[in-house]
Chains A and B, each alone.
Chain A
Amino acid sequence: MDWQKIITEYGPIVWKTAYRLLGNEADTSDCFQDVFLNAVQLSRQETVRHWPALLNRLATHKAIDLLRRRIQASKAAMPMDCNDCPDMSFNPVQTAWTHELSDRLRLALVTLPDLEAQAFCLQTFNDLNYRQIAAQLQVQTGYVGVLISRAREKLQRLLSSAAVKEEFRSKAYE
């Protein structure tokens, strides 16, 4: 297996998927390594037919998992390290609002069941269709719609200010 080639070719996909969910380079680097170490293990157990799809799924899964652990372990108010965020200071108000929304969505995502969170992310951020998601998550195609629908419903509810705060506090800190 030419891992050098696989990492070079598909590493950027993993990086983007993980960074989008984690929001900082340090966690993204951890997640990146985790994904490929896991990929090594999986490739020993089964033949991988479509590397980008597998890596995308692993990146999504690992990133959500890491995000959840980071938030649960964090005692600080800021789960994201914005020192690493790219500079968007040309429009401070827009920047603040974008960060706020991104953070809220990440916090809300970690409160979802794994499958729902993964299905939602794979569709929303990786543009996979139901059939592709079903293949990746090893569920029936019809069930993907259910997962995504449930996820959206919960996220909508959680994204209202009061709700996300309550949910976040109850899930992550208690």
Chain B
Amino acid sequence: MNNPNDKLNQAIDALRTMPIPQGPSHELIRQTLNRMDPTQTQITTPVAGTRRFSMKRMIKFAVAACVIFAVIGGISIFDKGTTGIALADVVQRVQQARVIFYKMQVTTTGQPLTASNAPMNISGAVWISNDYGMKMEMDMNDQPGSITYLLPAQKKLVSVMPAMKKYMEVDLNDDLLSRIKQQNQDPREWVQKMVDSQYKSLGKSTLDGIEVEGFESTDPALAGGVAETIVVRLWVDTQTGYPVQMDMDMDMNEGKTKMHSVVNHFQWNLDVDAATFLPQITDDYTVLPKMQMPKMDEQSAVAGLKVYLELTGSYPETLSMTGLSDGIQKASRDGTAMQKKFDPAQYEGLTKEEAMKKAQDQALQKSMDIMMPIQSLAMFYMTLVQDQKDPAYYGKVVTPGDAQSILLRWKTNDTNYRVIMGDLSVVDMSSEQLQQIESQMPAQEQPVPEDSSRSIAPLEDAARYGQLQSRGQSMVNIKKMLLACFKYASTNNNQWPQTLESIAGQDDIKIEGHIYIQPKNTVPPQTNVVIYESYQAWGEGINVGFADGHVEFIAKEADFLKLLSQ
């Protein structure tokens, strides 16, 4: 047994003779064939839906949920804009509903949620009752995720993970309870926010056989400092006056993360009893350590920066939830701090099952220990943006430990600022002192404001914000052109227009500065480039419209040329 050659041969025999379950299943073959569709020119990673639930997926799910909550919850500050009478009526109508049910599907691509560009799909069903609270079932890539209950009477949030037979409780104070009730997942709030934003009517259309009227808003204020560009569309039943569907497209993390969500299957004033909102926890469930809701204060922000620094060795480049998660995921993939703490010795003497359970518990706890302060940091920054406190963040250039540099600052009153320095000390400063220090920082070190409509940032910031805003507007413009092309084709024997002149003038479309490639087929492959921004020299990238109607910002010219050659 001690002969190493014997051991190798035994190991080989063990693998050679191991029982292998029958496979592949018909379902796997079907999914594989679907993904081998010849129209797909890019090879992507496997459909995660074929995977069973695992701890790692649960953690990923938790990160995704954090981002979604942050994104949806963050949409809370709005400039008063044009108020449409019809939408105002809708608001009044939905506000009267005491019980609401709806379903949601959220597809996210790009970092930080996925290691590759494989989309992550989260679907959910939500019940909201004025009397009992809220229940939200969420699954990821068709695998069971969690059921979350908001129980106002008990001031508690309970998250149940049936696949793991575990649950977690979070105590809420009145302030948090009120904030969650206001911000999270309530379509009544969304409609109100839509009304308060700059929106326009999309006219009448048909959705699943129902005549609807659409409303669209691309008001950057809707993004609340969370997303760089946003398009929200609300479709209201012309007969009943109730919302039928809401679509939302967002670009975050400098375009690296795209989120598309659809909320539909609304039911208003349905009958529910208290039992619907009671967490289903049986005796064989184990409780996870009690969790605190992320705080959104200065101390928590400093704690979040410390955790991030410990994990990655540097400060985050951005304080958006997606950017922070991106950094954490990268650190995890690169095998930094999180993995170095692993010690196999702690599993010695345990059975395989015990060791797995211990590893799972530890992984979940570790995930919470990391994500909680990170979430606090993101939410704190988000509130600074939303509360118009003129925040500025210099994480891209400040070296950890640098007590002379400003890392994050925000306004506390008309003349004073609160400042977190590079060594994470916190000080008060007058506007003059702040200006003096900031003026000594190189121009390129100025931060990118995440919401410059309320910013007094330097010219570089404004210019950068202008670029991002114009990129977003251009995307919307290309999207409009594609829609106009579809409309044109539908009335011209499925033929695409020969030139963009055919659609010029419709729906504020600007065709100047765009190249149009008329698809040769009536139903071209979805990855066919149809419209793109013309350029003389390649800059940061260009917006490109595809035959299936989606628009992407392509950063690398090589990628664009590859797409074009297809």
**B-binding residues in A (CB < 8 A):** 3-4, 7-8, 11-12, 14-16, 19-21, 25-34, 36-38, 40-41, 72-78, 81-82, 84, 86, 88, 97-99, 101-102, 104-106, 124-125, 152, 155-157, 159-160, 165, 169, 173-174
Contact = CB atoms under 8 A, between A and B. Distances in A.
5 contacts: A30-B48, A30-B50, A75-B342, A75-B363, A159-B7
Nearest to B338: A75
B36 A40 contact: yes
B365 to A, nearest CB: 11
A41 B333 CA distance: 27
Interface string B15-49: 11011110110001101110110100001111110
Interface in B343-364: 344, 346-347, 352, 355-356, 359-360, 362-363
A104 B51 CA distance: 24
Interface stretch (B52-60, B188-196, B519-527): B52-60
Given A33-B35, A159-B11, A165 B344 contact: yes
A54 to B, nearest CB: 15
B15 A37 contact: no
Contacts of A159: 4, 7-8, 11
Size bin of chain B's contact surface: 35 or more
B201 to A, nearest CB: 44
A41 B355 CA distance: 41
B141 to A, nearest CB: 12
Given A25-B23, A33-B31, A173 B335 contact: yes
Contacts of B32: 7, 32-33, 36-37
Contact of A8 (B29, B38, B335): B29
A172 to B, nearest CB: 8
Nearest to A40: B36
B270 interface: no
A34 B366 CA distance: 31
Contacts, number: 158
B356 A78 contact: yes
Contact of B43 (A41, A98, A99): A41
Chain A interface, >50% SS class = helix
Contact of A173 (B51, B339, B347): B339
B470 interface: no
Nearest to B49: A29
Contacts of A25: 21, 23, 52
B561 interface: no
A96 B526 CA distance: 51
A36 B258 CA distance: 27
Nearest to A97: B14
A161 to B, nearest CB: 9
Given A40-B36, A73-B333, A20 B8 contact: no
B28 A160 contact: no
A13 to B, nearest CB: 10
B12 interface: yes
B20 A156 contact: no
Given A76-B356, A159-B7, A37 B23 contact: no
Nearest to B353: A82
Contacts of A77: 342, 344, 346-347, 355-356, 359
Contacts of B340: 173-174
A100 to B, nearest CB: 8
Given A20-B18, A105-B11, A174-B335, A7 B4 contact: no
Contact of B28 (A20, A21, A32): A32
Interface of B: 4-5, 7-8, 10-12, 14-16, 18-21, 23-24, 28-29, 31-33, 35-36, 38, 43-48, 50-52, 54-56, 332-333, 335, 338-340, 342, 344, 346-347, 352, 355-356, 359-360, 362-363, 366
Query: Of A41, A102, A174, which is in contact with the most chain B CB atoms at under 10 Å from its CB?
Result: A102
B11 A86 contact: no
Contacts of B45: 30, 34
A133 to B, nearest CB: 16
Given A20-B15, A37-B35, 16 more contacts: A3-B33, A7-B29, A7-B32, A15-B24, A19-B21, A20-B18, A20-B20, A25-B23, A26-B54, A29-B28, A29-B50, A33-B35, A40-B38, A78-B355, A86-B20, A101-B7
A73 B52 contact: no
Contacts of B4: 156-157, 159-160
B33 A7 contact: yes
B356 A30 contact: no
Contact of A105 (B15, B29, B31): B15
A101 B12 CA distance: 8
Contacts of B362: 76
A16 B20 contact: yes
Given A76-B363, A174-B335, A155 B8 contact: yes
B14 A37 contact: no
Contacts of A7: 24, 29, 32-33
B47 A33 contact: yes
A26 B347 contact: no
B335 A76 contact: no
